[in-house]
Every structure is written in structure tokens, then in C-alpha cells.
Chain A
Amino acid sequence: MLASPLFSSILITALVTVASSLLVIWNNWEKARANEQERTLQKIAAELSVLKLQISPHFLFNTLNNIRWLVRSHSENAEPALVKLSQLLRYILYQANHDTVPLEKEVEHLQDYISLQKMRIQEQESIRFEVAGKLEGRTIVPLLLIPILENFFKHGTFAADANALIMLSVHGQSLNFRTVNKIALKSTGNDLTEKGIGLENVKRRLALHYPNQHTFRHYEDNGYYFVNLEIEKI
């Protein structure tokens, strides 16, 4: 055995140096990873707030303009329309800041949105909105479904026989939301790129909030447009 005291102390010093260096390196690495995670989180948070704000200014100004006509023609519908618009704005400004909202609130919001959109449609009876199942106790990411409705009203045509349908149903913990609308002839030159943005936002929000827990399909078939969203657990 060559274990002289000198050799032992050199060995111990070396071991301590290596160990502490490793500790420092590991610490730094851990810190870098935490920073990286923090950055990712911040990025996602920023992206989420932007996506939430994608409520269409076009819709707001159209609605105001519609109400302007109701006022000018002394229609008794002017006041209820204003009340709905005010509820809708209140919801967007205050409720939508929360990560999730009670499903009942979101459904009320959908109802306000639908009735404001319906104002400009002659055959209002051709659009059905059905809600089925037990909403109480369920929550949802706010404003998630609005872009689907925007798409529905923007590209749909609503003659008496068009049979447009918006349906939201809850089975236990799962949510199904689907829309069917007859597609309007593309005569007014609606550009197709815009069509993509709304549903693209829905897709991204779903991926962020309900990863691997949803199926989202939208397709055209025989002049009709179908959107079908299933979230397994809300």
C-alpha cells in the first residue's frame, strides 16, 4: 500500500474539487433549464392572450351598424340588441381573463353572439341552436368556440330550407360541439385565407389546453360545411 498522507490529501482535494465543479455545472444546467421553461411558459402565455383577443372587430362594428339601423327605423329591437352587445362585451372584457370559465357562462355568451349575428338574417328560424346534457360543474377555456361560429355565419347561407345547426352537448365529462351550414356561393369574393385563421386559432388553443384529449374535424361535403369538436374531459 502506497497510501502516504500526502497522496491521500491530494486525492481528497482532487475529489472535492471535481465534486464541487460537477455540482456547479449541474446547478448551472438546472438553472438554464428552469429559464428555458420559464421562457416557454411566457411565450405560451403571450400567445394565449393574443389568441383570445381574436374576436373580430368586424363583427363589433357590423353589430353597431345594425343597431344604428334599428335606432333609425325606431325598431323596438334596438334596446334588446344593445343589451346583448353590452353583455357580450362584458363577458369578453372580464370573464375571458380567466383560464377557464363555467360552461354555462360560455353557453350564455354563445347565445348572445348567435342572436346578434341572427339580426341580419331574414330566415332566422332556419338556424337552430341546441344545448343538451348537464352543464353544471363543467368548465371550459373562454371564447374557444366563437371562431367556429364566426366561420359558420361568415360562410353560411340561411334560406328557410338550409337547416343550419349549432349543437353543444355534454355527456359526463366530455363535450361535443358541432355545426352544420350550407355554404354560401363565393360570389362576394370572401377571401379564403381569412377563413383559415379562425379555425387555425381553435386548433392551436386546443393543442395548448387539451393536448391529446380532443378531436377536431372540419370539412366540406355536398355544399355543406361540417365542424365537429370532441373534448374528452372538460
Chain B
Amino acid sequence: MMRCIAVDDEPFALQLLADDIGKIPFLQLMKTFSSPLEALEYLKTSSVDLLVPRYSDAFAEGNRVS
């Protein structure tokens, strides 16, 4: 199992992302975040294998998580 978290400031997009991740058998969604800063806080105390950032499309660039 890969432990992962998802980050997106759009609530519906975050739900879509969470739902998609749920369909992949080897992914375990630990938590979702609406802001990269909250995710960063979480990462200080927990370790994850995969970080899924903001849903992005042709026009909207994802906010960088750094």
C-alpha cells in the first residue's frame, strides 16, 4: 500500500480526487487538504509515499506545494 494525501482548494475537485484515489487498490488516502500549508503541517509529523496536488487543466496551473 502507498500512503498518500491530496491537496486542492476547490472542495468538489478535492472530492473527485479522493474518489479517484479510492478506486486505485494500492493507494491508501490518509487525509485531504484544502491548502498546501495545512498539508505541509501534516507532513512535518507524518510520512507519505505520494502527494497528489491540485487538479489542473489546460488553463489552470496547479498551486505549487513547496
Chain A residues packing against B (C-beta within 8 Å): 57-58, 61-62, 65-66, 68-70, 72-73, 119-120, 122, 187-189
Contact = CB atoms under 8 A, between A and B. Distances in A.
A16 B15 CA distance: 86
Interface in B37-57: 37-38, 55, 57
Contacts of B59: 57-58, 61
B13 A189 contact: no
B63 A188 contact: yes
A72 B16 contact: yes
Given A61-B60, A62-B60, A120 B12 contact: yes
A135 B63 CA distance: 41
A43 to B, nearest CB: 27
B interface: dominant SS: loop
A77 to B, nearest CB: 11
A interface: dominant SS: helix
Nearest to B54: A188
B64 A72 contact: no
A127 B55 CA distance: 26
24 contacts: A57-B59, A61-B57, A61-B58, A62-B13, A65-B12, A65-B13, A65-B57, A66-B10, A66-B12, A66-B13, A68-B16, A69-B16, A70-B12, A72-B19, A120-B12, A122-B11, A187-B36, A187-B38, A188-B9, A188-B34, A188-B36, A188-B63, A189-B36, A189-B63
A58 B60 contact: yes
Contacts of B12: 65-66, 68-70, 119-120
